[in-house]
């Protein structure tokens, strides 16, 4: 069944415009609730709802709560909490599902709804399809005695903080480390600092005063220049930048150098190789730098690429029985620690790798040679399919032939807007620039 509302990470859009309207979100909660009622062996299923700090979170939370209650599903409200915190609490509280109200790294005027299963993983496609099918039929409300109830989980943040701390080896302390943390004015504003401080670190927090409108605004993982500046001004040993829902991480070292998800994934792979003696494989995405792939292969580690999106990385990890994967954007998965991507846990894992190896990030990535990568976005007309653009197809084939064995290209349509993403990697910046330019000119001719 083709997806009508669900994208790669739930339902997302601009608040007040379809589908992110109070009426639709109430129907979404009702449809999801009816699916849960049909599948659950409980008298009344229960879901956890968490959110980031967008002003629209209050509106959508109330709409979801009404929809679930009408379907006969109890609701537990967690308030502002990272996406991965919802996954953790859903699993440990033995609830039937978790729901996150967030648009991740998007501006405040966007929002979205994404679901987790009882196991703390993204919903399977067949469950999402079942929800979508019910969205096309009238909403139902059960009788008063069968309506769901709502309660608030007042210690949600504290429970999640303790979970994060528990992933650090017993006896390890961060005492003596000066860490700067950019909370993106998002869901981790009241959590990330406590985790690191209680582990002994000296912490400088920035972008930790959300007002409903400043989430991700020139801060966070998508604007690493902010944490870069804070690190240099405060003399921090390391800077950690989260995004709005705190499931991705970008790191800055004490010299201000930025490390993306590919580089961090390499550090984690090397730490596991050193500690366990073997890493069977790592999963990246179509956007992962070829330098990462070659560096892992030199260490005898298999590398496979999934489609863009952490859910696809997760699916491939499960298929192979591997634990480690991620995206260059900073989504990192380590299924031996958590069921989903987690920016705070990712930061902890990087710090653990540094302390155990007694090395800095430049030292830990010395064997990793990243290829210059160029990515350009091209606006297209609705319905444009690049595979049917003969000019672009021919240009891509020409570039692929010239880069064979020393680079690669990628052309893909955006899943959320009418954009064509054209990427090239090569051994030199000039080769990467020229490869992308050749394909761009072909789009103009063939579009």
Between vectors from CA 362 to CA 84 and to CA 184, what angle results, nearest 5°?
35
Q: How far apart are CA 363 and CA 354, in angstroms?
A: 9
> Per this entry, what is the length of the chain?
447
Q: How far apart are CA 276 and CA 346, in angstroms?
A: 19
Q: How far apart are CA 438 and CA 391, in angstroms?
A: 10
Tell me phi and psi for residue 50, to 5 degrees: -120, 165
Q: How far apart are CA 6 and CA 372, in angstroms?
A: 34
Catalytic residue among 69, 84, 104, 288: 104
Greatest alpha-carbon pair distance for the chain in Å reads 70
| Separation of CA 387 from chain center | 28
Q: For this structure, is 94 an active site residue?
A: no
Q: What residue has token string 């959300």?
A: 210
Radius of gyration over every alpha carbon of the chain, rounded to an integer in angstroms: 22
Q: Residue 332, by phi and psi: left (phi above 0), alpha (psi -120 to 50) or beta?
A: beta
Q: How far apart are CA 299 and CA 143, in angstroms?
A: 62
Q: How far apart are CA 376 and CA 307, in angstroms?
A: 18
Helix residue ranges, H only, 289-389: 290-298, 310-320, 343-357, 361-364
Long-range contact pairs involving 16-25 (C-beta distance under 8 Å, separation at least 24): 20/56, 20/60, 20/110, 20/111, 20/112, 22/59, 22/60, 22/62, 22/63, 23/63, 25/60, 25/63, 25/64, 25/67, 25/113
Counting beta carbons within 10 angstroms of the beta carbon of residue 290, is it exposed (0 to 12), middle (13 to 18) or buried (19 or more)? buried
Between vectors from CA 326 to CA 321 and to CA 332, what angle results, nearest 5°?
100
Integer CA distances (angstroms), 141 to 20, 135, 149, in order: 21, 14, 13
Catalytically active residues, by annotation:
104
């Amino acid at each position: 069944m083709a997806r009508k509302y669900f994208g790669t990470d739930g339902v997302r859009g601009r608040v007040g415009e379809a589908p992110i309207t109070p009426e639709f979100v109430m129907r979404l909660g009702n449809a999801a609730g009816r699916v849960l009622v049909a599948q659950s062996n409980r008298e009344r299923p229960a879901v956890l709802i968490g959110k980031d700090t967008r002003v629209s979170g209050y509106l959508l939370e109330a709409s979801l709560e009404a929809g679930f209650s009408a379907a006969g599903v109890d609701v537990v409200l967690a308030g502002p909490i990272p996406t991965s915190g919802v996954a953790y609490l859903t699993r440990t509280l033995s609830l039937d599902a978790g729901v996150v109200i967030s648009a991740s790294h998007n501006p405040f005027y966007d929002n979205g709804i994404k679901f987790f299963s009882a196991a703390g993983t993204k919903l399977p496609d067949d469950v999402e399809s079942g929800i979508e099918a019910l969205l096309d039929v009238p909403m139902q409300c059960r009788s008063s005695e069968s309506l769901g109830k709502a309660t608030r989980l007042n210690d949600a943040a504290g429970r999640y903080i303790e979970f994060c701390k528990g992933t650090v080896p017993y006896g390890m302390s961060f005492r003596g480390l000066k860490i700067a943390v950019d909370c993106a004015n998002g869901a981790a504003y009241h959590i990330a600092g406590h985790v690191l401080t209680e582990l002994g670190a000296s912490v400088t927090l920035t972008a930790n005063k959300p007002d409903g409108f400043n989430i991700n605004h020139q801060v966070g993982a998508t604007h690493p220049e902010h944490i870069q500046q804070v690190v240099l001004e405060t003399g921090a040993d390391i800077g950690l930048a989260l995004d709005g829902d705190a499931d991705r991480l970008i790191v800055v070292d004490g010299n201000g150098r930025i490390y993306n998800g590919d580089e961090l994934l390499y550090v984690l792979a090397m730490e596991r190789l050193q500690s366990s003696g073997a890493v069977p494989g790592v999963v990246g995405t179509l956007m992962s730098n070829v330098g990462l792939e070659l560096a892992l292969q030199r260490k005898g580690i298999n590398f496979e690429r999934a489609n863009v999106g952490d859910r696809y990385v997760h699916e491939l990890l499960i298929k192979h029985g591997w634990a480690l994967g991620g995206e260059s954007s900073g989504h990192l998965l380590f299924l031996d620690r958590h069921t989903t991507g987690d920016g705070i846990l990712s930061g902890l894992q990087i710090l653990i790798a540094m302390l155990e190896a007694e090395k800095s990030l430049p030292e830990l990535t010395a064997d990793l040679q990243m290829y210059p990568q160029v990515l350009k976005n091209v606006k297209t007309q609705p319905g444009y399919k690049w595979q049917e653009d003969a000019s672009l197809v021919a240009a891509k084939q020409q570039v692929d032939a010239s880069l064979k064995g020393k680079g690669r290209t990628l052309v893909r349509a955006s899943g959320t807007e009418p954009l064509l993403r054209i990427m090239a990697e090569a051994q030199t910046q000039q080769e990467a620039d020229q490869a992308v330019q050749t394909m761009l000119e072909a789009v103009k001719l063939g579009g």
